[in-house]
Structure 1
Amino acid sequence: MGAADDERKPLLESVKCTTPPVATKTGKNKRLPGDQLSKKERSKLLKQFYDDQDDLKKCFELDLKSLDDENRQAHINEYTAASEQKAKSDKILAAVIFVVNVVLLLTNLTASILSGSYSVISAFIDSSMDITSGFIIYVSLWAISNTNRFNYPRGRNRLEVIAVIISSVIMAITNIMMILTSVQAIVADNVDPDLNLPTILLLSTGISSKIILMIACYKNGTTISKLLALDQRNDAITNVVAFVGAFVGDHYWKYADPIGAILVCTFIATSWFSNAFEHLPILTGRRAEKEHIGRILNIALTHDDRIKFLDHILVYHIGEKELVELHIVLDENLPLRTTHDIAETLEFKIRGLEFVERVFVHVDYRCDGREDGC
C-alpha cells in the first residue's frame, strides 16, 4: 500500500458521522443523509471520492502539459485529426449498416410471410425502422460535413444529436403500434405461427450479422456510432426473442408468439425513449460534468498570476460539446494590451480541451457577481 493509501486509511476506516445533528423547528434532531448509510456504503463512497480526485489530478497534469504555448497547437491538431477520422468511420459504418439492413429487411419479410409469426413480423418492422433511422443519420452526417459556412458560421454539429432524438422517437412509436396489433391478435384469437427451417436460417443470419456490426460500432466510440451500436444490439435481442417466441408458439403454446412480439416491442420502445430523453438535456443547456468544470477551473487558476479572482464560471452543453463563460478579475491599472493578451491566451487554452466548443472570457476589475458581466 502506497503513501497516499496510508493517508486515506484512517478516513476509510472511520465511518462515524462527526457532523452535529441539525435541529428542526419542532426541536427534534433531523437525520442527515449520511446517517442512513451503512459502514460499507460510506467506505465505498469515500474510496470512490479519492479515486475520482486521482483521475482529476491526472487530467490536470495532462492539461498543463498539452495546453501550454509549445504543445497546444499540436494537441489540437491531434484530436482534430482523430475526430475527423472517427467521422469518416461513422459515415462508412452508417453506409454498411444501411446496406445490411436493406438485405435483412428482405430476409425478415420472407421469414414473416413463411412463418406468419407476430414475433417475426415485429423483427421485420424493426428492420424497416432501421433503414429509416440509418437514412436519417446518414443524411445528418452528410449535412454536417457539407455545411455552408456563410449560412452556418459555427457549423451544424448539433444535427448529430437531433438525428439521434428523431430516430429514437420514430423507433419507439412504431413499436408501440406493433404492441397494439399483437394485443388485438390475442383478443381475436388470430394466432397460428409456423417456424420452419428457412425461417430459422434467415433469423440466424440476421442475429449473427447484427452482433458483428454492434461490436464494430462500439469500438468507434462516437455519439453516432454508439447510437448505431444500440440499434444493432436491439436488433440482435429482438431477433433472438422473436425466434424463441415463434418456436414456443409453434410447438407448445400459440400465444407465446404474440406475447414474444409484445416483449420485443416493449423492450425496443423503452430503450429508444430512454435514449431520446438522455440526449434532450444536452440540447437544452445541461450543466457540464464536474470533471470538465474542474479542469477548466484549474487552467484558469494557473494561467497567469495577474488573475486576482474568478468571479464566476458557467459550463454547459450546446450539443455534444460545451460552452464556457468565465469572468476573471484583473488589476484595474493594467494596460489594455496586457488585459487583452491574458484573456485571449486563456481562451486559447480552454478551447484546446476536446470537449469545449466555444469560450467567452469576460474581464472585470472587481467582483460584481453578475453572470452577464453588465
Structure 2
Amino acid sequence: MAPEMRSQRLIGNSNPRYRWEQYWKTEEELKAMKKPIRKYYERNNELIQQYTFIDKLLDSSLPHDLIQEYHNAAISASLPNIPETITEEAASPQPMPGTPISPNGKPLTFYILTSYAPFEKYGNDLENPSPTPPMPDWEPEEEADSNSRIVSVAIFINLVANTVLLVLKIIVTLMTSSVSVLASMVDAALDFLSTAIVFITTRIISRKSAHDKEKYPVGRRRLEPIGVLVFSVIMVTAFVQVALEGLGRLTSGRKEAVQLSPSAIAIMSSTVVIKGLCWLWCKAIKNSSVQALAQDAMTDVVFNVFSIIFPLIGYYADIWFLDPVGGILLSGYVILNWSFTCSFHISQLTGAAASADQRNVLLYLTMRFAKTIKHIQGLTAYHAGDKLNVEVDVVLDENMSLRDSHDLGESLQYVLESVPYVDRAFVHADYARYNSSERQH
C-alpha cells in the first residue's frame, strides 16, 4: 500500500501497443499522391499525431502521480499537491508543445517506462527495423478564454469598426437606390447588432458573482454558441427581407440602371479593406465568438465586392435588372452561409455525437489507461457547446476496494479532461458487464 506500489498495482507499467510514427507520411510523400489518396493520408497523419499525444500523456508521470496523491491526501487530509516527477528512467526533460499541465500548475515530464515486452509493442518490426521519418508533435488548438484580453480587444475593435461602417453605409444608401447597396447597408446594420450581441455575451460570461456557483455550476461558457446562434437567426431573417425587396424591384416595372457615385464606391471599397483586416486578425484567435466575427468579416468582403460590381456592370452595360438580381444573389449567399452556421451550433447545443475519430482517440486512451480495467462497457462522447462531454463505463474486479476503484476512476476522469477538445468527463465503475441500465435500453 505504499504510494508508488499502489499506483503500480492499479495502473501498471506503460505498455504502448503501436509505433505510430512508422505510418507517418512526409510532405514530400503527400505531394506525390493524387488528391483523394492525399486527403486520406492527411487525415491519417492527424490521427497519428493525436494517438501519439495520448501515448505521451499516458507515459508521463500524470496517471501515477494522481493515484499517489490520492493516497497522500487521504493520509494528510490536505489538498492535492502533485509532485513534478516520478522515479523512472528519464528520456527527455523537454515537454512537447501542448503538454498537459498538472494540478500544481507545472508542465508534466515524460518518461520511457522500459518494463514492457518489446515484441508486444513493435511485433516483428524489431527484427527488421526500418527508419521512420521525423514526425512533428501534435499542437492542440487551445481555445482562448472569453475572459482573455485578446478576445475582449478583438470584439471591441470589431464593434468600433462596424459602428463606423454602419454610418458610412447609411450615407451611401441615401445617395443611391441600388438594391445591392441596400443589402450591404442591412448587412452593416446586422454586423453592428451581432457584434453588440457577442460583446454583451462575453461581458456576461466574464462577470463574476458570489451566486454564480449556485446558478451556473459549470459556468456560462455555453452562452457563446447561444449568442452566435441568435446572431445567425437574425442574419438569415433580415436577408430574407432583402431578397424580397429585390424581387419587388424586379416586378415593379421600373427599368432604370442604378448609378453609383465615386464617393459611394470609395465608401464601399473602404469597407472591403477594413473587413479584410478584421478577418485576417480574428481568424487567428481560437474562440467561438471571435471565429463567428471572422466568418462575418469574410462574408462582408465578398458581399461588398459584389455590391460594387453588380451596379457598375448594370449601369455601364445598361442591364437594369442586374442590380436587383445581384441583391437577391447576395442575399441568397448570406442566407445559405449563416444557415449552415445556425445548423452547426444547434446540433452542438442539442448534444450531437463526437466524430468517429474523436471517439476512437478517447476509446484508445481509456483502453490504455490501466491494467486493472477489465472491460470498457461503453463510451459516449457528445457536444455540450463547443467542447465534448464524455461518459465512460468501465468494469473492474469485484473484489477491488471502494478506495481503489474511486481513485482509479477519478484519475481516468482527470486524464480524459486533459484532452483539449474534452470539457467534462464522467467515469462509471462497475463490477459486471451486465447491469440494470442495459436492460432499460
Is this a same-fold pair by TM over 0.5?
yes
SS in 2 for 1:141: helix
Residue 263 of structure 2 is aligned to residue 198 of structure 1: yes
Range that drifts further, 295-304 or 195-204: 295-304
1:270 aligned partner: 336
Residue 249 of structure 2 is aligned to residue 249 of structure 1: no
Q: 1:1-374, aligned counterparts within 5 Å?
A: 44=36, 51-66=42-57, 68=60, 69=62, 70=85, 72-74=100-102, 83-84=144-145, 87-147=148-208, 148-190=212-254, 191=256, 193-251=258-316, 252-368=318-434
Asked whether the 8 Å contact 1:56–1:291 carries over to 2, the reply is: yes
Q: Distance in 1 between matches of 2:41 and 2:102?
A: 32
Query: What amino acid sits opposite 2:216 in the alignment?
Result: Y
Asked whether the 8 Å contact 1:164–1:224 carries over to 2, the reply is: yes
Runs of 4+ in 1 over 4 A off after TM superposition: 2-6, 47-51, 74-82, 369-374
Q: Distance in 2 between matches of 1:53 and 1:253?
A: 51
> Given the superposition, is the C-alpha separation of residues 181 and 49 from structure 1 closer, same or farther in structure 2, using an over 3 Å criterion?
closer
Size of the aligned set, in residue pairs, is 338
Q: Distance in 2 between matches of 1:81 and 1:220?
A: 10
1:11 aligned partner: none
Name stretches of at least 5 consecutive residues in structure 1 with no aligned partner.
7-39
Q: Distance in 2 between matches of 1:236 and 1:116?
A: 21
Query: What amino acid sits opposite 1:124 in the alignment?
Result: M
> Given the superposition, is the C-alpha separation of residues 132 and 372 from structure 1 closer, same or farther in structure 2, using an over 3 Å criterion?
farther
Q: Distance in 1 between matches of 2:103 and 2:44?
A: 24
Identity of aligned residues (%): 24
Question: C-alpha root-mean-square deviation of aligned residues, in Å?
Answer: 2.8
Q: TM-score, normalised by structure 1?
A: 0.82
Q: Distance in 2 between matches of 1:371 and 1:319?
A: 26
Shift of 1:248: 2.2
Name stretches of at least 5 consecutive residues in structure 2 with no aligned partner.
1-20, 26-32, 63-84, 86-98, 108-139
Q: Distance in 1 between matches of 2:354 and 2:43?
A: 16
Higher helix share: 1
Q: Distance in 2 between matches of 1:232 and 1:106?
A: 17
2:116 aligned partner: none
Shift of 1:231: 0.6
Q: Distance in 2 between matches of 1:82 and 1:253?
A: 48
Query: What amino acid sits opposite 1:120 in the alignment?
Result: V
Asked whether the 8 Å contact 2:144–2:286 carries over to 1, the reply is: no
Q: Distance in 1 between matches of 2:249 and 2:100?
A: 63
Shift of 1:336: 1.4
Q: TM-score, normalised by structure 2?
A: 0.70
> Given the superposition, is the C-alpha separation of residues 261 and 301 from structure 1 closer, same or farther in structure 2, using an over 3 Å criterion?
same
> Given the superposition, is the C-alpha separation of residues 181 and 367 from structure 1 closer, same or farther in structure 2, using an over 3 Å criterion?
same
